[in-house]
Every structure is written in C-alpha cells, then in structure tokens.
Structure 1
Amino acid sequence: MTPSRILPVIVFSQFAGTSLWFAGNAVLPELQKSLQLQEGALSLLTSAVQFGFILGTLCFAILSLADRVSPRLLFLICALLGAAANVMVLFAATSITGVLILRAATGFLLAGIYPVGMKIAASWYSGKLGKAIGYLVGALVLGTAFPHLLRGLGATLPWQAMLLAVSILAAIGGILMYLLVPDGPHLTKGAKFDARNMLKVFQVRDFRAAAFGYFGHMWELYTLWAFTPFILTYTLPELSASQVSLYSFAVIAAGAVGCIGGGYLSQYRGSAKVAFVQLLLSGLCCVASVFILQEPYFIVPFLMFWGVVVAGDSPQFSALSARTAPAHLVGTALTVVTSIGFAITIVSIQFTGWLLQNMPPAHTFVWLAVGPLLGLLALRRLVRA
C-alpha cells in the first residue's frame, strides 16, 4: 500500500523545484533597469531557460540517466544545483551574458526535476497515473506562477530577496524528495547506456501519437505563459506593476485546476479523451483571442479560462507517453519527449515576439492555434482506441 505522504511530498517538491523556471521573468523590470535591456528581454530570458532545459533533457535522454540512476538522488542533485545557479544571478546582474548563462544553466538542471518527478510518480502510481501526474503537473504550473505571486505581494521587497526565496524553496523541495520518497515499487531498473534508446521509443505507434499531441500542446503553452504579462499590460494599461503580477499569477496558476480536474476525469473518461477536449478548447481560445483582446472588459475571465485549458491537457499527455513507452525506458521516453516539446516552445516564443513587432497584438496570438490543430490530428488514434 502506498504511504499517504508520498503524493503530497512529490507534489510539493515538484512545485518547489519548478518555481525556478520563471524566477527571472518575475524580476524582469529590475534586470532590465540594471542591464539596460530592451523590451525584447522577456523572450530572451525565457528562451535561455528553455534552451538550457532542452540541452539538459537531451543529455539525460542520451545517457538514459533517469533509468540508470536513482530518480530521487538525481532530483536532489539538480534541485540543489538549480537553486545555486538561481542565486548566482544576484552576482551577475551587471552582465547580460552572465545572466543568460545562469538562466540557461538553471534550465539545464530543471531537466532533472520536471521529467524525473514524473518518473518518480510513475514508480508509485501505475493504475492511477493520470490522476497522480495531474497533481504533479498542477504543482509545476503553480511553481511556474509562484514568482509572479512573490512579485505581486512583495513589490516593495528587493528583487534579490525574491530570487533568494525561490532558491531556498527549490533546495528544500529536493531535500524532502530524497528523504521522504523512496524508490517506488513499480520502478523498473536495468536500462543500459545506448544512445539509440531515445530513438527506439518512437518505434511504438501509440507512443508517437501521444508525443505528437504533446508537441502541438507545447507550441501554445509556454508562449501564452511568457506573454501573459504583456497581454494584460496591452489590454489593461491602467494596471500597476503589482496588479499585472497578481493577475499573471492567477492566469498561470489557473492551469492547476485544469490539471487536477482533468486528472480526476481521466479515471472515468480516459486520458486521451480528456487531453483531446482540453486541447480543442485551448485551440478555440487562440482563435477567439482575435476578438477578445480588443474587448478589455472580458480579458481577465477569458485569460483565466484559457489558463485552465491550456495546461490541463499536459498531465494526460505525460500519462499517455508513460503508458505507451517501453517499460524499461519510461524515464528516457518522458525526457526525450519533454526535450523536443521545449525546443518547440523556443521557436514559438521567438516567432510570437517577431509577430508582435510586425502586426497588432490582437492578431498575433491566433497563430498559436496551429499547435492545437496538429496535436488534435495526432491524438485521434488514441481517442479511437
């Protein structure tokens, strides 16, 4: 019987570790002032983290680390080193190169937190994986939003204190994971180093369907999160900086509702159907943004709903990937899919930043609908099954 503490500890540790993700975005105004950055700094800082994460997941996948090393030990090491890299931004705030390198290093180490946390959950919860990963990705969503909450509530605090608080939280999460969550009963060991492991997983047709659905979802997800403060500032220019931060937190954190609610629904309707419906709804939000971004009275409830459905399908894609991957390569499969997915986010974020310089914002975010459309086409196979 699974001890009652396991899931809460995994969820908290995932929340704590992933709060490192957007820590740089939350203190962006101060960094812009310190480094005399242009408005394009948002996409630059976000892409640095994504780029580091891609390199990290690629290295972890090639080496099959999540299937060869104790996942909780890997999680601990990466949480501690990620916290250290985040703190070092305090000493590099006079150099844009230094800040970008440290944010990329943080992203690299997040490769040992996010997908490895899912591997740990899969080792404990095989029958109710959709529900368990729903909580886990919900924690990721809250961790991503948390720096915005810190900034909104502590706008008068030094930005250095906010970065330090996030780093301490991440370190605590790693320690708790290692001390309180032993290796699960469903943990499969024995994978040998083979650089072809990351290609072998794509030989399974159902795994390919889940993976390509996830790729379409990722085209939209992080771009919306990265540009939520911009959308709020553009549509509601009367908002103060702290209000923009609090609304940004609410929009991003709303995704936890979609993740956890979708996790419960997956027990009755199946992960494929839940992912399909939420991906469809988020795609429709992309299209509706053409009209809603011109109506400031509706923007907050619209963004809240979009925040729920844009993230709510993510845990079900991860559950589908874990279920359809070869049993001895689950960690590698989750890592390589995550790596490709985040490579897609860099293209999407940079493309959206370019569009914003060349067309009205109200006509920009409709292009995010391309991802959900392609994801829905890929997911049809699993929905029929």
Structure 2
Amino acid sequence: MSSTPTATLAPPPARILPTIVLSQFAGTSLWFAGNAVLPELQASLGLQQEALGWLTSAVQFGFILGTLCFAFFSLADRISPRLLFLLCSLLGAVANAMMLFSANSLTGALLLRGATGFLLAGIYPIGMKIAASWYSGKLGKAIGYLVGALILGTAFPHLLRGFGTALPWQTMLLAISLLAATGGLLMYLLVPDGPYLAKGARFEVANLLRVFQVRELRAAAFGYFGHMWELYTVWAFVPFILAYAYPDWPQEQLAVCSFLIIAAGAVGSVGGGYLSQRWGSERVAFAQLLLSGLCCIFSVWVLQMPAVLLPFLLFWGVVVAGDSPQFSALTARAAPPHLVGTALTVVTSIGFAITIFSIQLTGYLLTIMPVQWVFILLFIGPLLGLLSMRPLFTK
C-alpha cells in the first residue's frame, strides 16, 4: 500500500469511479437477493408468513457481526481493500448460490443468508474505503454515486415484483451470484490501490475506540446514527404506508410505487454529492437530515391525504437517503488516515444495529397506535443527529 502523498496528484483515470460504482452495485445486489425470491422460498420451505422476516433479518445480523469483526481486527486497514473486496464478493456469491441446495431447510437458508450478510461487510464499507483512496477532495461526490448504486439495489426487488419475471428463482439467484463475482473481479483488475491509501494499521483492540477520539468523527458518526434510525424504517414500511393509503390498488402497482420511492434516494445521494462540492458535506447532510425529519412530522397530516401522499413520499425518499454518503464522507475525512476502513466499518455496524431497534419498535407501535401517529416518532433520530452535528460547524 502506498502512503498519502504530499504533492499535487493528477486526476484519477476516468474508469475508476464508474468501475467502483458498478462493482459496488454488483456486490451489494447480494444483500436483497433473498427478497426477490421470497415467495418461491416460502413455497419451497413451507414457511408461514411471519417466518419470511427471519430471512431478511439474518442478512442484517450477519452484516452487523461482519462489520464488528472487520473493525475489531482492523482487516480493512491491514489487507489491500481491493483484495478484500474480491474475496468477499466471490465468497458472497458462493453463499448466495448455495441457497439452491438449502431450499428444503429453513435453518440452512438462515445460515447462508447470515453468511452473505457477514461477507457484505467486506463489500459495502470497503467500497467506500476504496473510493476514499482515490477521491480525497471530492469524496462526497464519489460516495454519493456508491450509495446511489446501493439504493437502486435495495429497491430492485420491488421492481421485479411489480413487473413480474419469467425466470425461475434458481436462475435469478445464480445470475445475482455471477453479477457479484464479476463486480469483485472488475474491482480487483481495474481499480488499483489509490494514491490516498495510507499504510495499514497494526491490529490493536484500542483501534475500535481510537477512531471515536476525534471530535469531528464523533459528530459525523452520531449524525449518521440519527439518520439510520429513520432510513431503513421508512424503507421497510413504504409498502405498508402505500397499502394503508391506497387499499384498492393492485399489488403490482403498490410494488412499482415502492420501487420508485426507495429508488428516489439515489437522486438525493448523487445530487447531494454534486452539491457537496459547492456547499460542503456538512451543510448538505444537515439540510437533508432536517428535511427528512420534517417529513416525519408532516406525515401525521399527509398520511390522511391520499391525493398528495405519493409526491410527498417521493420527496421523502429523496431526502431520507441523500445524507448517507455525506456522513460517510465526513467520517472518512475525520478518521486517522491509517484507520479509515476501521472507522467506516464500525460506524456502519452501529448504524445498522440501530435500524433493527427502530424497525421493531415501529412495527410494535403500529399494533397499538393509529397509523398516522406512528411515523412522527422517527423524528427523534434526525433531531438527535442534527444536534450532534454542531461541532462540524464550529471547527
């Protein structure tokens, strides 16, 4: 690995950012591969409706465990990130394809989805580290593209369900595995270690805590945690909100609208990346977090106004995700250069752990409260995140 240069560097080759974005999309497609074939797995495994959530949760728990392990051992800062990305993409592709042989076992399916989530810890945060090694001054823009690719992958299963597919579910899983493996190979072959990649860190348990000793990193991280309290809960319940507001719509129409609302986050991510070049990542993240928090509050009234709900949800979809890459960029910039990968993985891990509590709490509240009063409580996350960001404007 090369150390950070002091001289002015030439612009990165034109292929670098498109390759990183494509590889990131290909690798993170593993995340939601199970969602795209859930009905088929349900029929194959004879699952009850409530058991389907276990398969999705297995990926989340696996990802959290993986990011903790990667951060604990500082793997992202001790191994070439492109090699780590390649290995995790290939192994993740194998774990995903192995689902073909576990279609008669719920336990096997859960273990494989958990393993896939674990390996995603070497794809999503590592892709951001690779981008950080090439784009120091324009990191907000670069990560905006990366998160935009992830968001499209998140929304893609809804699009599949909306338009239907003639492909057997086995073929779909194999195609996603091939896509992920190809993304890993492209990253390894076409994206060398960047000029801003610092020397790797030695393994020290204290690395997990050392990254939080930086005041600006704490501010960015806690802003991100507030953002994550809201983000995945909104995404998880978009289909529920649409079904509640438009009970007469067919499932296909609800699915397509769910795709559009979630995919709108890619506009916020990429657009926010460009705006960060002029206004700075701090201001872009603050503005989008504030706007999404206001959407939580206004949902009390808009949920009862079907005529304006759809454009409202599309706007919410833009701003609820658009601050994510800016928080990651702020975290990468504030972290000690030799611990950028560790900082990104541990902050991401905590953020995803927060999503589980938020989703479970919202699901419970929907059973005891009127729907229109539930989502206003998501404002707690953006509020605390906004307050935590103050040091970023006083440095």
TM-score of the two chains, using structure 2 as the length reference: 0.93
Aligned residue number for residue 255 of structure 1: 265
Matched, 1:338 2:348: yes
Q: 2:15 pairs with 5, 21, 24, which one?
A: 5
Matches of residues 128-277 of structure 1 in structure 2 within 5 Å? 128-277=138-287
Aligned to 1:358, what secondary structure does the other structure show?
A: coil
CA distance, structure 1, for counterparts of residue 243 and residue 104 of structure 2? 27
| Partner in structure 1 of residue 30 of structure 2 | 20
Q: Indicate the RMSD between aligned Cα atoms, in angstroms.
A: 1.7
The Cα shift of 1:359 comes to 2.5
Taking a change above 3 Å as real, the CA distance of residues 239 and 173 of structure 1, as seen in their structure-2 partners, is farther
Moved more, 347-356 or 126-135: 347-356
CA distance in 1, matches of 2:321, 2:52: 21
Judged with a 3 Å threshold, the aligned counterparts in structure 2 of structure 1 residues 79 and 215 are, in CA distance, closer, same or farther, namely same
Per-residue deviation, 1:43: 4.2
Give 1:78's match in structure 2, choosing from 78, 84, 88. 88
- 1:318: Cα distance to partner? 0.4
Query: Do the aligned partners of residues 337 and 356 (structure 1) sit closer, same or farther apart at CA in structure 2, a change above 3 Å counting?
Result: same
Letter in 2 for 1:113: I
Deviates more, 1:362-371 or 1:11-20: 362-371
Matched, 1:45 2:58: no
Residue 58 in 1 paired to residue 68 in 2?
A: yes
Alpha-carbon distance in 2 for matches of 1:344, 1:26: 24
Quick one: distance in 1 between partners of 2:51 and 2:294?
29
Residue 208 of structure 1 aligns with an amino acid whose one-letter code is R
Deviation at 1:354, TM superposition (A): 1.7
Superposed CA deviations along residues 289-327 of structure 1, whole A, max 9, x for unmatched, are: 222222222222122111100110000000100111111
Give the letter for the 1:247 counterpart.
C
The alpha-carbon deviation at position 156 of structure 1 amounts to: 4.2
Change (3 A) 1:162 1:251: farther
1:90 and 2:126 aligned: no
Kindly provide the CA deviation profile for residues 91-127 of structure 1, in whole angstroms up to 9, marking residues without a partner as x: 3233332222222111111100010000000000001
Please give the per-residue CA displacement for 1:188-226, whole angstroms capped at 9, x wherever unaligned: 123101111011011111110000000000111111112
Aligned residues: 385
Q: Secondary structure at the match of 1:254?
A: helix
> Unpaired segments of 5 or more residues in structure 2?
1-9
Structure 1, unmatched stretches of 5+, are none
Give, in whole Å, the separation in 2 of the partners of 1:188 and 1:28.
42
Correspondence 1:286-325 to 2 at 5 A: 286-325=296-335
State which structure, 1 or 2, has the greater radius of gyration over its C-alpha atoms.
2
After superposition, give the CA deviation of every residue in 1:7-52 in whole Å (9 maximum; x if it has no partner).
0000011111112222222333333344444444454333221111
Tell me if the contact between 2:64 and 2:118 (Cα under 8 Å) persists in the aligned partners. Answer: yes
Counterpart residue identity of residue 65, structure 1? L
- 1:349, distance to aligned residue in structure 2 (A): 1.5
The match for 1:369 is 379
2:77 — aligned with what?
Answer: 67
Q: Give identity over the alignment, percent.
A: 74
Alignment check: 8 A CA contact 1:47 1:349 kept: no
Letter of the 1:258 partner, please give it: G
